Amino acid sequence: QKEVEQNSGPLSVPEGAIASLNCTYSDRGSQSFFWYRQYSGKSPELIMSIYSNGDKEDGRFTAQLNKASQYVSLLIRDSQPSDSATYLCAVKGGAGSYQLTFGKGTKLSVIP
């Protein structure tokens, strides 16, 4: 069974600090990796996708992927109180696979 593991948190960081969110996955054949942000009472919102080993940056967000270690992370620089949310890691399998497997999410609190 494919599994995606995340530390449930809560992770608390002071405003302006770097928040680091981690995710591991069990299916070595996984090819696509996504980070979603979910505010309380709202639906998940895609913030980053990454497909190749290394780093991908988008504004204050950086996704990091290491397929050999089966590890993907999300860094949030200059964290803001508005970043307080649950962050879901999602993984899709290899070619032809269309299903996403979600982790349970990490709750992030940014303290002003």
Partner 1 sequence: SAVISQKPSRDICQRGTSLTIQCQVDSQVTMMFWYRQQPGQSLTLIATANQGSEATYESGFVIDKFPISRPNLTFSTLTVSNMSPEDSSIYLCSVEFRYEAFFGQGTRLTVV
Q: Are 66 and 90 within 8 A, CB to CB?
A: no
- Which amino acid is residue 40, in one-letter code? S
The dihedral formed by the CA atoms of 77, 28, 9 and 111, expressed in degrees to the nearest 10? 10
Smaller CB separation from partner 1, 15 or 45: 45
Which of 32, 60, 61, 71: binder of partner 1 (CB under 8 A)? 32
96 binds partner 1 (CB under 8 A): no
Omega within 30 of 0 (cis) for the link into 10: yes
95 binds partner 1 (CB under 8 A): no
Please give the residues from 45 up to 64 whose contact with partner 1 meets the rule CB under 8 A. 45-46, 49
Smaller CB separation from partner 1, 18 or 89: 89
Which of 10, 14, 42, 94: binder of partner 1 (CB under 8 A)? 42
- Which amino acid is residue 19, in one-letter code? A
